[in-house]
Amino acid sequence: MDEARCTPDLTAAIVRLSEIARVLLHHRLAAGKRFQREAVVLAHISGRLALASEASYSLETAFLVELVALCKWSTYTPNYLGRVWRNPATPLDLVTDPKGWLCQEAERYAHKGFSAYASCSAHEQDTLRYFRTQKPYEFIETDTANILDYETDYITDADALDDYPDFVAKDLYTALSEYSQCTCSQDQVSESGMLKHEARLRLTGNSSLSGGFAIFDMHFLSSPILSPDQQFGHWQQLRLRVSRTRMALKKARFGEQEASPCNVSNSKNSPEAESSTDQLELISKEGFCELLRRDHGPVKICLQVQDQRLFDLGDPDVTDQRLAHDLSIPLTQVLTSYELSSKMQLVLGYTLARSVWQYYDSDWARTSWTCQSIQFMPEIHKIALKWPSIFCRPCFTVRFEDGNDIVPEYCDLRNVSHKYPRILALGTLLLNIGWGDHSHDSHQDAFSPEQRINHECTAGQEVRTDPSWPRIGHADKAGDELRILYKNATLVCFDGKLFAACDRCNRRKLKCIGQATESCKSCVSSKRVCTYNGNPRSSEKASTFGAQSRRKILLERVVLPLRKALCLVGWEDSLDIPDAIPLKSSRREKSSPLSQLRSTHHYDPDRPDHARFSKRHRMHCDSAQFFDDEWLPDSELRVKRLQYVDWKKMFIETAEPFDEIELADSDRPVRIAVLDTGLDKGHQDIERELERIWVFDSSKDRFKKSENSEIADAKGHGTHIVGLILEYATDAEVYVADVTVNGEADRGLIANAIRCAVDYDVDIISISFGFQQRVLGDSLEKAIDYAKEKKVHVFAAASNNGGNTGRSWPARYDGVFCIHSTDANGNPSGFNPTELEEVNFATVGEAVESSWPKHVPRMPEAIIDDGGDGDGGSESHNGAESEEQIPSLEVKSGTSFATPIAACIAAFLLRYAKTHLEPEHAEQLKRHSVMRSVLKCMAGPRRKKFYHLSLRSNPDHLFGKEDPDDIRRNIIAAIKQSG
| Spatial distance between the Cα atoms of 937 and 914, rounded to a whole number of angstroms | 18
Domains and CATH numbers, the chain: 1-68+102-121 (no CATH), 166-184+194-241+322-506+542-574 (no CATH), 670-854+887-928 (3.40.50.200)
Taken in order 530, 532, 533, 536, the sign of the CA dihedral is positive
pLDDT of residue 238: 94
On the question of pLDDT at 371 being above 80, the answer is: yes
pLDDT digits (tens, 9 = 90+) for 619-674: 334 466 776 656 677 667 888 888 999 999 999 999 999 988 888 888 999 999 99
User: Average pLDDT for residues 94-123, to the nearest whole number?
Assistant: 79
Measured CA to CA, the distance from residue 285 to residue 386 in angstroms comes to: 35
Whether the pTM exceeds 0.85: the reply is no
CB atoms within 10 A of CB 20: 22
Write the DSSP assignment of 133-184 as a string of letters.
-SS--------GGGHHHHHHHH--TTS--B---HHHHHHHHHHHHHHTB-ST
820-877 pLDDT tens trace: 999 999 999 988 888 876 788 999 999 999 999 988 876 544 444 443 333 333 333 3
Section 218-229 average pLDDT? 70
Residues in CB range of 59: below 8 A, 6 or more apart: 10, 52
Range with lowest mean pLDDT among 342-346, 478-482, 515-519, 796-800:
515-519
pLDDT at 751 over 70: yes
Q: What is the pLDDT of residue 256?
A: 35
Q: 238: which residues sit within 8 A by CB, 6+ positions away?
A: 217, 218, 219, 220, 300, 301, 302, 303
Q: Residues near 565 by Cβ (< 8 Å), separated by ≥ 6?
A: 346, 350, 482, 485, 486
What integer pLDDT is reported at residue 195 of this predicted model? 75
CA distances from 518 to 499, 511, 541 (A): 14, 12, 14
At 613 the pLDDT is 33
Q: Hey, which bits of 177-327 come out as E strands?
A: 199-202, 209-210, 213-221, 235-243, 281-282, 300-306, 309-312
What's the CA gap between 10 and 18, in Å, rounded?
Answer: 12
Of all residues in the chain, what percent carry a pLDDT higher than 90? Answer: 29
CB count, 10 Å around CB of 247?
A: 11
Is residue 18 within 8 Å of residue 49, measured between CB atoms?
yes
Q: How far apart are CA 505 and CA 520, in angstroms?
A: 7
98 Cβ neighbours under 8 A, 6+ residues apart: 61, 64, 65, 67, 68
Angle of the 634-659 helix axis to the 717-728 helix axis, nearest 10: 40
Cite the active site residues: 676, 717, 896
Position 743: which residue type?
G
In this prediction, residue 885 carries a pLDDT of 55
Total Cβ atoms within 10 A of residue 482: 24
In this prediction, residue 522 carries a pLDDT of 47
Signed CA dihedral, 687, 727, 731, 749: sign only = negative
Radius of gyration of the chain (CA): 31
Can you tell me whether residue 190 is helix, strand or coil?
strand
d(CA 164, CA 160): 13
Q: Do the Cβ atoms of 898 and 647 come closer than 8 Å? A: no
